[in-house]
Amino acid sequence: MEDKIRHGKEVITEKLNMPRELSLDVPKIIVIGNRDITIENHKGIIAFDVNEIKINSRVGAIKIQGSNFEILYIGGDTISISGTFKAIIYEGCTE
């Protein structure tokens, strides 16, 4: 049943030309070089270390690996992180 609802949302989103991240509640990740990442529509921080960050999202955990991480901004469902990024890994994604 949940798959039918999600499919219906996807069809409506396409027909109305809406941004997918808003209507489907999926994370939007903006990466600038390997120094800045902004994640919108997250569900909280699972773990934070200077070399690894785990962010919860509707599609599962998002693990970011690298070094010298610093949280620049947290507000609502948006987080901005700086550092040197080496990998973004989607854990537990079923889609």
Q: Does 16 reside within a domain?
A: no
* Average pLDDT along the chain: 84
Q: Does 69 reside within a domain?
A: yes
**How do residues 36-79 score in pLDDT, each as one tens digit?**
999 999 999 999 999 999 999 988 999 999 999 999 999 989 99
Instruction: Report CA-CA distances (Å) from 57 to 15, 33, 35, 41.
Output: 25, 23, 21, 7
Task: Please measure the distance between the N-terminal and C-terminal CA atoms of the chain and give it in whole angstroms.
Answer: 15
Residue 26 pLDDT: 81
Q: Which domain holds residue 41?
A: 26-91
95: pLDDT strictly greater than 80: no
63, 54 contact by CB (below 8 A):
yes
Give the position of tokens 């699972």.
46
Q: Does 77 reside within a domain?
A: yes
Instruction: Report CA-CA distances (Å) from 45 to 7, 14, 30, 71.
Output: 28, 30, 17, 11
